[in-house]
């Protein structure tokens, strides 16, 4: 993942996975160098969705599948690309990660 017009910082170069969730709009909760680190980050940011949908855990995306995009509310964030598929998702019923 490469930012347009700016150089990536030392920390950003180490990010290999992003935890991205959100009910109405995609929201990046941060990145980690390892899949385990991204899973821990995602579990720390579980969201309670309204409309009786319950608790949801952000999905994990590989950094190479993400890009800097402008959201519907006009803010720029690192979000999954159009064809991106999550590397890992949380199965709330089984209480385990599906890689």
Contact 88, 96 (CB under 8 A): no
The answer, yes or no, to whether residue 1 has pLDDT greater than 80, is no
Residue 1 in domain: no
Residue 3 in domain: no
- Mind giving me the DSSP string for the chain? ---SSSPPPHHHHH--EEEEE-SSS-EEEEEESSHHHHHHHHHHT-EEETTTTEEE--EEEEGGGEEEEE-TTS-EEEEE-TT---SBEEETTTTEEE-
Specify the number of domains making up the chain: 1
What is the value of pTM for the model shown? 0.82
* Virtual torsion, Cα 53, 58, 64, 65, nearest 10 deg: 0
pLDDT, tens digit, 9 for 90 and up, residues 14-71: 999 999 998 888 899 999 999 999 999 999 999 888 777 788 999 999 999 999 998 8
Q: Give CB contacts under 8 A, 24+ apart, made by 40-44.
A: 42/90, 43/90
Please report which confidence band the pLDDT of residue 11 belongs to, taking 50, 70 and 90 as the band edges.
low
Domain holding 83, by residue range, is: 10-98
Residue 60 in domain: yes
Please report which confidence band the pLDDT of residue 9 belongs to, taking 50, 70 and 90 as the band edges.
low
pLDDT at site 16: 96
Residue 82 in domain: yes
Q: Determine the Cα–Cα distance for residues 38 and 62; give it in Å rounded to an integer.
A: 10
Residue 85 in domain: yes
Please report which confidence band the pLDDT of residue 92 belongs to, taking 50, 70 and 90 as the band edges.
confident
Residue 5 in domain: no
């Amino acid at each position: 993942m490469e930012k347009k017009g700016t150089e990536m910082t030392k920390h950003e170069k180490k990010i290999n996975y992003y935890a991205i969730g959100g009910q109405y709009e995609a929201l990046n909760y941060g990145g980690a160098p390892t899949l385990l680190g991204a899973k821990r980050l995602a579990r720390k940011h579980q969201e309670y969705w309204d409309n009786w949908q319950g608790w949801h855990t952000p999905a994990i995306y590989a950094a190479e599948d993400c890009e800097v995009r402008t959201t519907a509310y006009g803010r720029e964030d690192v979000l999954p690309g159009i064809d991106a598929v999550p590397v890992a998702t949380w199965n709330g019923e089984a209480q385990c990660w599906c890689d």
